[in-house]
Each structure stands twice: as C-alpha cells, then as structure tokens.
A and B are shown apart, each in its own frame.
Chain A
Amino acid sequence: MLTVGLAMLQGARNEHMHAILKAAADLNVEIEIRELRKSSDVAGIDALILPGGESTAMKIASRSEELYSGIWENVRNTNIPVLGTCAGAILLSQNGLINAGIERNAFGRQRESFQSDIEVNLEEISTFQGVFIRAPRFTDGSGNAIAWLGDEVVGILERNVMALTFHPELTDDFRFHLWLLNEALSRTEHDQ
C-alpha cells in the first residue's frame, strides 16, 4: 500500500487523482490518495503530487497552515519522489527543490497556450503530448533535463524530484504517474 500525497489547497487536483488511480490500476498496486491541506497531513506519504494552478493562490491559501513548509521539510528529510506540474514546478523552483530558475506565464496569456509533441528522455518515455497552459519557462540553472520542446527544456529531474512545465494530467497518458509510483515502490522495497 502506497500513500500518495496530493496538495489540495488549489489547482487541477481532479485530473491528477484520475491519472494516479489509472497508473495504480495498471501496476496493480494499492494506493491511498492523501489530500494535503495542513502541514500535519504530510507525515508518512510515499510520493507527492503538486498540481498546476495559480502558484500565488496556492502559497496564500497555505499561509495559515504552512502546508508547503511542511511539505518541503518532508521531501528534504525523506527523499520521497515528487511530481510537480506547471505551478507545482514553480513552487519546486522557488523553494530550491530543483536547481533551476523559472518565469511564470512566460509564453503569454491563455490565447498563447498550446499543444505540441515533446521529446522525453526517461525510461519508457521518448515522446509525449505536451499541453502548455499559460506555462512557465525554466530560465537558468544546471538541473538534469529530461524533457524538451524543440531544444528548450520543459522538464527537469533532480534526485527524484520532477518538475514539468506542461500538464501530463490533462492527457489520457499516465506514464509520468507510473514513473512516480515506480519510484515510490522501489524506495519502499529498498527500505524493507
């Protein structure tokens, strides 16, 4: 049984919930999705999802419960795998969980949102449908790139923290969610 934490204060959590359930069914693993609203909800999770949304709203909604400070402490202490998409990637960058800068809404407004096939260098993923919605862009850094739109980096993996500027959860393709569960599984097996 894996416990997957999902930051719930704001953002596209329904789509991540569906994707992670499909991935769990595919792997035939039992999971519990823990809805994270307070820092006290974080202890004991085996994997973490930070959904897209508005990063400003997420930080402010977290204010009185310090959800995110609890999350960062937990990730640093336990090295659980993390999947952050769009605003989730922004929070990971701003809090030093990945070694890359990021600029919000860097492609423009909603009318500039777009889809394009992207290249991925990850076990079992070589191409993916990239859905970019008012997307951020990595600006600098030395992180380990794993996804590209043309030659532009759109995904970074450092240790087991993955930051994507696109939205795999909006597609029917749950391979990034499979990656998250596989990472969590290999860690728990290693611990035993």
Chain B
Amino acid sequence: MLKLQPATHLFLLIKSVNQTFALEVLPLGLIKMNSNNDIKALRHADDLLKRGFASMLQGGVIMDVVTPEQAAVAEAAGAVSVMALERVPADIRKSGGVARTSHPDMIKGIIDCTSIPVMAKSRIGHEAESQVLQALGVDMVDESEVLTPADPYFHINKNSHDIPFVCGATGLGEAVRRIYEGAAMIRTKGEAGTGNVVAAVTHARLIDQEIRQIQQLNDAGLDDAANIIMNRYRVLAESSNLPGVSNLTPFGEIDDEMHGSIRDILVEVSDLGRLPVVTFCAGGIATPADASLMMQMGVDGIFVGSGIFKSEDPETMADAIVLATAHFDDPDKVAEAMGMMGGDPMRGDELETLEVRLDQRGW
C-alpha cells in the first residue's frame, strides 16, 4: 500500500527548486522521504545522467524559438525540447555583427511557459555564458557555431559543468574531441539558417564513413587515429603563440593520458558502429521530407532552426515535421506530412552564395 505522510523532508530534496513549487507538491501525500535520505547521497551531474537526458530525446524534434508564444506552438506540435534564442539563424545571418547568448529574461520567459526541456546556445569557448545558462535552469547548453566564437583555440570544458552539452560536428574527429571534452550529445552542423539540407547530409555521411573506417583499424591504427585527433589540440595550442603552453589545454595536458581517453572513445565508436552519444542532425532542415531523409541516414532526431518559424505557416510546419520524424520510414505518412504544409517552406540559399560559412566555425 502507498503510504500517506507529511513529506517534510521532500523540501530538502528539491531545495534548489523555488519554494512555491515545493509547497505545491507537499500536500499530495505518498511522497515521503525517509529521514535517512540525505540530499548529499543523491548523485547529480555525472555522465550517466547527462547522456541519459540526451537519450530521452531520441526520435524527437527540437525547435528554435524566440518567444514564449513560439515555445507554446512547439510544445503543442510535439517538440521534445525547445532551443531558446533571440534570433533564429536566418536572422543572425541577415543582421551580422557579433551573435551572443540570449537575454536571461527571454530564456526565463520560455522556461516558465513550457513543460518540455529548454536548451539555449552559448558561444564556443565562452565558459561564462554557459555558466549563466546553467544558473538560469536551462536543461542543456548548445555550444554553437551559430553564435560568434568567443575562444579561437578551445571549446568549453564541458566536464566542469553540471548540466549536459550538445555540440556540433562536421566529421568524426570533431565529434570525438567534443565527446572527450564532455559533450553528452552531438549534432551534425549542417549550414544553419539556409533552409538547404546539403551540408547536413554531407556531415552525416562523412561521420558515418569515418566510423566505418575506424571499424577497419587494428590496434596500431587506432593509436594513430587517436594521435591525429589529439594533435588538433597541439596545433591550436601552438598557434596561440604563448610561450611554454603549447602542451596545455583546458582539458588537461596533451599527453599519454589524453591519448588513452581519446582512444577509448574510438574503441567505443568501433564496437557500437556509431557515436557513443545521441546524435541529432541540424542545419538546413526545411521540410518534413528533409527530416525523413536525415532520420533514414541514421540520426536519432532532428533540430529545426529557422525552418519552422521562417515558413509561411509555422504551426502546421511544426506539426508536419514532428509527424515525418516519428514516421520517417513510412512514405505515406511523410507524404501526408508534406501535404499538410499550408504555405511555402522557408526560402533556401545555395551555399555558394553565403558570405559566412557557420560550419567552418569550431574545430
């Protein structure tokens, strides 16, 4: 039988949640914490919890939103999460200038109005922006090339944060470095804000082919591959022109230990035949068929940036992309989703016409 009791210890457990919320929970009974149940005994913020959070997103669509109203549209359409930002990538492209993390009021406004997880973007290498996002209660940080990089050498040391990170990658080496740095989820970069899926396809294919190559390697080959991936840090450290630091990164020294950790990730990749973290695609998804295409290429889910709220009928587009992602391998359902589109998708750009290639940011 379920027990009813005063849950005086519950508040200890959720002390970091605001008090109003905790008091709302208290009278419901059943929820009783044993007095031996010490909050310190609960283990927060390790890799299992970070990667576990990302696992819950499988098969879902994560939508860029710039207002609480858009977040409500995304949740009603069945998004698994929303990405809170001030401007969608298409508008960041148009306006130029330095793109930074969003205003806290804007992020809090979206957190307050949604029940699904909220993500937000931090600049590459900007530890302080990501700390702010964590303090605001964001569930996952996207260390994103869509914003202007803050550190020309190194990404954020994601292992030092309690909340999980997703990072972009154009190839396996980049993905493995981000995982080594603590990323709990990878997304293909694609070319954000273009409505053109070609870069997302390129990156997904490249990562897939490189995984097949890793699977062909013997022990010595894996040693070499780990060296090549690690050496990218050396090049960056050396290019910093600071004397005596060429062997040092925010993640530790470039040494046998780092080599071993990177090699361990490659062994995992080889055994699994895929990245060891949830892998989404992003950048240029503009129609339900684009979402189906990427799911058929084996990604775990879809980020849609400008594709929904830059289309003529965002509410229907949001519904349609969720439908096509869930039923990606059923052409009748994808056709139904394509037919739902009430207006034109966002206008697309040829990559050759772009002044700024976002996918070349990050390394």
Residues on A facing B (Cβ under 8 Å): 8-15, 37, 52-54, 56-57, 59-65, 86-87, 100-101, 103-116, 131, 133-134, 137-145, 149-153, 167, 170-171
Residues in chain A near residue B16, CB distance under 8 A: 108, 111-112
A151-B32 in contact (CB<8A)? yes
B58: which of A14, A104, A133, A150 is its contact (CB, 8 Å)?
A14
B1-A142 in contact (CB<8A)? yes
User: Nearest CB to that of A15 among chain B residues?
Assistant: B55
| A133 touching B116 in the complex, CB below 8 Å, given contacts A57-B80, A151-B33 | no
Residues in chain B near residue A116, CB distance under 8 A: 37, 41-43
A-B contact pairs, 10 of them (CB 8 A): A12-B56, A54-B81, A60-B76, A64-B333, A101-B28, A108-B17, A133-B53, A145-B2, A151-B34, A152-B10
B48: which of A106, A115, A139 is its contact (CB, 8 Å)?
A115
Within 33-88 of B, Cβ neighbours of A (below 8 Å) are at 33-34, 36-37, 41-46, 48-49, 52-53, 55-61, 75-81
B163-A110 in contact (CB<8A)? yes
A60-B48 in contact (CB<8A)? no
The 10 closest A-B CB pairs, nearest first, are A60-B78, A150-B34, A150-B37, A61-B326, A110-B139, A114-B42, A12-B55, A108-B17, A10-B59, A115-B43
Count contacts on B: residues with CB < 8 A to the other chain. 67
Known: A61-B325, A108-B16. 12 other contacts (CB 8 A): A11-B56, A53-B58, A60-B77, A60-B319, A64-B323, A65-B327, A105-B115, A110-B117, A116-B37, A141-B30, A149-B33, A152-B32
Residues in chain A near residue B76, CB distance under 8 A: 60
State A53–B57 Cα separation when bound (angstroms). Answer: 6
Residues on B facing A (Cβ under 8 Å): 1-3, 5, 7, 9-10, 13-14, 16-17, 21, 25, 28-34, 36-37, 41-46, 48-49, 52-53, 55-61, 75-81, 111, 115-117, 134, 137, 139-140, 162-164, 300, 319, 322-323, 325-327, 330, 333, 336
